[in-house]
């Protein structure tokens, strides 16, 4: 059987192709009751892939940084499984184009949304794991995340902590975070958060308030030249 493009991306010829179909099906592509319940969408695969990703990244970090303790390893892990990194990886490997979405959602550019890309990537990993176990899942993760992993030469700080330290070091007021909007259905919300400090404003969007705040802090740090 010839590999499909998505199988080539994932590096696996699926024994159970129905797992891959489910992983690449956005809820919007379903109809009627199934759409309301999410049955047949990639949400179940995303649930599995999220857990598999955490395990495989933790294993990889323990191998790569054998002298580091839990705190530093945990900060690295948080970055590598964060929504911005997942969306970046998914975009880099071209995963979004393989995602089945409703025609209207496709025209609206849903395949480019960071939340959708991140969820699809976790779902794809979940499908790889359920089809073949940890070894093919590990091979995919180490290939797809290699660039992101190689950027972490030193243990990172999260963006909110970095922003707070930056303003405090200059005697400025603490950053102020505001939820500007919340859009999307209950099962897939997107929060837009703004953060202001020292007369500058940053903004970020994410599938949770916490994620949106981190992205907003990153945006403000760039504006401040920090």
- The question of whether 50 is a catalytic residue gets the answer yes
Q: Which tokens belong to 112? A: 């480019």
- The question of whether 153 is a catalytic residue gets the answer no
Catalytic residue among 50, 72, 105, 158: 50
Q: 3-state class of 57 per DSSP?
A: helix
The set of residues, in sequence order, having a beta carbon less than 8 Å from that of 121 and lying 6+ positions away, is: 49, 86, 87, 89, 90, 95
CA atoms within a 13 Å half-sphere pointing along the CA-CB vector of 73: 17
Q: How many of the other CB atoms lie within 10 Å of CB of 42?
A: 27
Catalytic residue among 43, 88, 119, 122: 122
Q: Which residues are catalytic?
A: 50, 122
């Amino acid at each position: 059987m010839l590999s499909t493009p998505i199988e080539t991306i994932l590096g696996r010829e699926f024994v159970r192709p129905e797992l891959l179909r489910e992983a690449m099906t956005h809820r919007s592509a379903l109809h009627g009751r199934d759409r309301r319940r999410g049955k047949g969408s990639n949400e179940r695969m995303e649930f599995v892939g999220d857990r598999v990703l955490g395990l495989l990244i933790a294993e990889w970090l323990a191998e790569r940084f054998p002298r580091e303790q839990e705190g530093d390893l945990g900060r690295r892990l948080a970055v590598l499984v964060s929504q911005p990194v997942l969306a970046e990886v998914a975009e880099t490997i071209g995963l979004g184009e393989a995602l089945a979405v409703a025609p209207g959602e496709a025209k609206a550019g849903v395949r480019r949304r960071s939340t959708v890309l991140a969820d699809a990537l976790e779902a794809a990993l979940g499908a790889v794991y359920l089809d073949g176990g940890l070894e093919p899942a590990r091979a995919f993760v180490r290939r797809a995340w290699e660039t992101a992993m190689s950027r972490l030469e030193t243990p990172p700080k999260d963006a909110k902590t970095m922003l707070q330290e930056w303003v405090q070091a200059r005697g400025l007021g603490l950053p102020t975070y505001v939820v500007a909007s919340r859009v999307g259905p209950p099962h897939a919300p997107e929060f837009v958060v703004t953060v202001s400090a020292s007369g500058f404003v940053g903004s970020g969007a994410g599938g949770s308030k916490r994620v949106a705040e981190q992205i907003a802090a990153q945006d403000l740090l760039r504006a401040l030249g920090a």
